[in-house]
Amino acid sequence: MKLKKLSLRTRIFLAMILLVLLASILISAVAIFQYKEQSEDYHKDRLKRKEENVQTHLKRILNGRQNTWEVKTENIPLIFKEEVYNIADIHKLQINLYDLEGSLLISSKAGLQKNTADKCLDAQTLNAISNTASHRFVDKHDENGEIFQSSFTYLLDQKSKAIAILNIPYLEKDDFLTKELQEFLKRLGFAFMLVLVMAIFIAFLLSKYITKSLKTISDKINTTRLEKRNQKIDVDDTSEEITTLVTSYNSMIDELEESAIQLARSEREQAWREMAKQVAHEIKNPLTPMRLTVQNFQRKFDPTDEKIHLKVDEYSKTLIQQIDTMSSIASAFSNFAKMPAQQNETLNVVNIVKLALDIFNEDYIVFTAESEEVIAKFDRTQLIRVVTNLVKNAIQALPENQDPKINVNVGTNNNDVVITVADNGSGVSEENIEKVFEPKFTTKSSGMGLGLAMVKNIVETYKGSITFTTQKGKGTVFKVMFPKE
């Protein structure tokens, strides 16, 4: 699981280093194994060569003119009485001669005659010599940490008849080969260290090269958004796999852009459908009483009625009232749909807010300002619309069973202008908090539900923000912030 958390670059780097280490270990193991095999073959062949040389030397003495003794087993100690030491000294080996029954006849080692354990050969050794085709047996054993080989073979006379058993003990001395192996492993270690350093450097560059394109793709994917235009990836000198991945991503970007266009078109069409339904619904409401009024007047119209002028006046007032309602509906939708133009007019926000509050005659609306003058760039008409809508919204939120109070304040925060409108109304319920700035949302029996949506639209056009805090039954505070410039 921990390996899966490592980045691809780290895994490539570690894999190459591990590969070099495994190769080093494998080559070292093969070298040691080869050394052991070579050492074993060397001692095996060396013992055989020495045995052949000793055999040749012994046969020369047996068949030489200086030998006055008959060549037979019983005479072996007499024939080689002095020569066995010379031969052993020449070949730097110990030489033991046994009869065919395994009893020791003569040895070049002083004091061996007294060692009863070495005077006789066991039956297993005798059987091994006689039962093999070459009549040769090599015994290998460990004595006090040293490896000894002991060869046994027949000594033949001129008629190729076995007359004795030749035994040559041989000590395997690997000092020279061990030193050579140590030197070889030391050089190999230095070579591996150099290769490891090079592998680290190459692995770093290679992993960086391999993951460079992947990181470019990853960064592009992380910044890919449906709502904006995404850039395609342009990567040169990449592998076939990376090229395929880049091509797939660029194809996805084209499809995503097409989908975004279709989605935006669909959202606009849906928005206009909803707007058309709302406009039709709101206009239909006053048309019904207008129709009923006209029909009632037509049915009851009597030119001779003394109160005909009064009835005509009431009829006209009713129609005018409904026409005004329709006009206000059209104006509300027109104002909401109209994007505010950024006039960047330099004005005193304090004076404009005061001017916006002049249309309200309520005594419970209290205005305060941090200073007499707060200069900012904003459209005068749009700022008045913002303040007017917020105050109207606060007035409509006031309950009838308590003393109303609305505080309007103008201040600054660093480089921003801050306008707050606080009321002690009923507050916003928890389920309606997310819907406050949505078009068409309203908790009142009258109105279009477009006022706060329009305010949000205006403020955000000037790179500002509008937020609110509310407490159920205690009131709501709306805060508008926008930059001074």
- Provide the CATH number for the domain around residue 377: 3.30.565.10
Domain span including residue 361: 346-483
Asked whether residue 470 is domain-assigned, the answer is: yes
Burial of 298 (0-12, 13-18, 19+ CB in 10 A): exposed
Residue pointed to by tokens 């019983």:
74
Cα distance between residue 345 and residue 323, in whole Å: 36
* Same structural domain, 353 and 313: no
Is 391 in contact with 406 (CB distance < 8 Å)? yes
Cα distance between residue 97 and residue 72, in whole Å: 13
Alpha helices in 171-307, H assignment, sequence order: 175-222, 240-300
CATH number at residue 157: 3.30.450.20
Asked whether residue 318 is domain-assigned, the answer is: yes
Ramachandran assignment for 402, one of left (phi > 0), alpha (psi -120 to 50 degrees), beta (any other): beta
Structure tokens at 110: 């002083």
* Same structural domain, 350 and 319: no
Total domains, the chain: 3
Is 106 in contact with 81 (CB distance < 8 Å)? yes
Cα distance between residue 209 and residue 215, in whole Å: 10
The domain boundary, picked from 150, 178, 206, lies at 178
Angle, in degrees to the nearest 10, between helices 308-337 and 451-461 = 30
Beta-bridge partner residues of 476: 423, 470
Per-residue model confidence (pLDDT) at position 481? 93
Is 379 in contact with 441 (CB distance < 8 Å)? no
Strands 96-98 and 162-171: antiparallel
* Same structural domain, 287 and 422: no
Beta-bridge partner residues of 420: 409, 479
* Same structural domain, 376 and 459: yes
The domain boundary, picked from 320, 337, 354, lies at 337
Cα distance between residue 366 and residue 102, in whole Å: 133
Per-residue model confidence (pLDDT) at position 348? 92
Strands 365-369 and 406-413: parallel
Structure tokens at 137: 């047996």
Cα distance between residue 146 and residue 419, in whole Å: 100
Asked whether residue 390 is domain-assigned, the answer is: yes
H-run or E-run covering 396 = helix 380-396
* Same structural domain, 388 and 472: yes
* Same structural domain, 25 and 127: yes
Asked whether residue 252 is domain-assigned, the answer is: yes
Cα distance between residue 168 and residue 107, in whole Å: 10
Per-residue model confidence (pLDDT) at position 114? 43
* Same structural domain, 158 and 105: yes
Cα distance between residue 172 and residue 50, in whole Å: 13
Strands 406-413 and 416-423: antiparallel
Asked whether residue 203 is domain-assigned, the answer is: no
* Same structural domain, 293 and 404: no
* Same structural domain, 109 and 36: yes
* Same structural domain, 354 and 478: yes
The domain boundary, picked from 282, 303, 337, lies at 337
- Per-residue pLDDT 10s for the chain (485 aa) are 455 566 666 777 788 788 888 888 888 888 788 877 877 777 788 888 888 888 888 888 888 767 777 788 888 888 888 888 888 888 888 889 898 888 888 888 865 444 444 578 888 888 888 888 888 888 887 777 677 788 899 888 888 888 898 988 887 666 666 777 778 778 888 888 888 888 888 877 877 776 676 667 767 677 666 556 666 666 665 666 667 777 777 777 777 777 777 776 776 667 666 666 666 666 666 666 667 667 777 777 777 777 777 877 777 777 776 677 677 666 666 655 555 455 678 899 999 898 888 877 788 899 999 999 999 988 888 888 888 889 888 888 888 778 889 999 999 988 899 999 999 888 888 777 777 777 655 555 444 446 687 788 888 888 899 999 988 888 899 999 999 88
Cα distance between residue 33 and residue 53, in whole Å: 30
Closest Cα partner for 237 from 256, 195, 209?
Answer: 209
C-alpha pair distances (Å), 445 with each of 87, 404, 448: 132, 20, 9
Is 412 in contact with 370 (CB distance < 8 Å)? yes
Asked whether residue 197 is domain-assigned, the answer is: no
For the whole prediction, is pTM greater than 0.85? no
Asked whether residue 189 is domain-assigned, the answer is: no
* Same structural domain, 72 and 162: yes
* Same structural domain, 100 and 147: yes
Is 339 in contact with 457 (CB distance < 8 Å)? yes
Asked whether residue 309 is domain-assigned, the answer is: yes
